[in-house]
Structures are given as structure tokens and as C-alpha cells.
């Protein structure tokens, strides 16, 4: 009998965007992961940068913040804020879904089978709008008010 060949079902990172006809929530998933990786990269550097104030005092802190307050770093600061807004609000949505809140009541499966995504979509749209509002406020604070 011929040996059964095991198929590789691992889509890996390319599956974030190239897995098929993804819906809106799938792109939120991709965005969640990209922002998460961006935030953790920034955070590891942030620990090292903010520690300088404890070990070097004002003599190091003031010139460092002078450099980090320039245009290029302001754009980076905005990206971090936008990443936080998207990741944080979408994270709340994911927890609500995981806890079974905002998924709608369970119903008997009758043909044509409905999808629960329809019940979840309003929450996905709401958090996306809230994230957009927060990003606009952050942009105002970072680029205009300061």
C-alpha cells in the first residue's frame, strides 16, 4: 500500500494576507499582529531609553529628549500611538468575542446556515471607528498641539 503523503497545512506568516477570500475581521487579525510586533519592538527599545534617566539623570535625559523630539522621531511616536489605538481596541474586541459576548445567541443550525460573523461585525466596525477617532486625537496632540 502506498504511503500516505502528509500535506503541509502551515500557511505561516504569508497566510496573514494570502490565505484566500478573507473578510474584514481577518484583516483586523493581520493588523493586530503587525501592530503587536511593532509595539513589542518599540517597547524593548523604550525600556533601554527610559532607563537612562535613572542611571544618567538630567544630564543625559534632556539632550536625549531633544533628539527624540525631532520630526523623524515624532512620526515614529505617532506610529506607536496608532499601533496602540488599533491593537488595544481590537484586543478588547477579541476578549469580548472569546468570552462569548457580542457573538449573538446560539441557534439551531438550519439550512441555509447563517454565519456568526454577521453578529460580530457591528463590534468590529465600532472598534475600528473608535481607533480612528483616537488616532486623529493622537495626531492632533503630536503634530499640531506640541
Site for other proteins, rule CB under 8 A: 10, 12-13, 33, 36-37, 39-40, 43-44, 47, 50-51, 53-55, 57-58, 61-62, 65, 68-69, 77, 81, 84, 88, 91-92, 95, 98, 137-138, 140-142, 145-146
CB 12 to other proteins: min, Å: 5
* Nearest distance from C-beta of residue 110 to other proteins, angstroms: 33
Measured between alpha carbons, how far is 131 from 30 in angstroms, rounded to an integer? Answer: 16
If we measure between CA atoms, which residue out of 91, 73, 77 comes closest to residue 131?
A: 91
> What is the distance between the alpha carbons of residues 79 and 35, in angstroms, rounded to a whole number?
9
Name the E strands within 14-116. none
In the complex, least distance from residue 47 CB atom to other proteins, rounded to whole angstroms? 5
Amino acid at each position: 500500500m502506498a504511503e500516505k503523503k502528509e500535506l503541509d497545512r502551515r500557511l505561516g506568516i504569508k497566510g496573514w494576507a494570502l490565505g484566500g477570500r478573507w473578510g474584514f475581521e481577518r484583516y483586523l487579525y493581520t493588523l493586530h499582529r503587525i501592530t503587536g510586533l511593532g509595539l513589542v519592538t518599540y517597547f524593548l527599545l523604550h525600556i533601554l531609553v527610559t532607563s537612562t534617566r535613572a542611571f544618567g539623570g538630567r544630564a543625559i535625559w534632556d539632550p536625549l529628549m531633544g533628539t527624540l523630539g525631532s520630526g523623524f522621531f515624532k512620526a515614529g511616536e505617532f506610529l506607536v500611538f496608532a499601533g496602540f489605538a488599533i491593537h488595544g481596541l481590537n484586543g478588547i474586541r477579541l476578549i469580548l468575542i472569546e468570552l462569548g459576548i457580542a457573538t449573538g445567541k446560539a441557534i439551531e443550525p438550519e439550512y441555509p446556515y447563517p454565519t456568526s460573523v454577521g453578529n460580530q461585525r457591528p463590534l468590529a466596525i465600532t472598534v475600528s471607528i473608535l481607533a480612528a477617532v483616537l488616532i486623529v486625537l493622537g495626531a492632533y496632540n503630536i503634530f499640531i498641539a506640541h
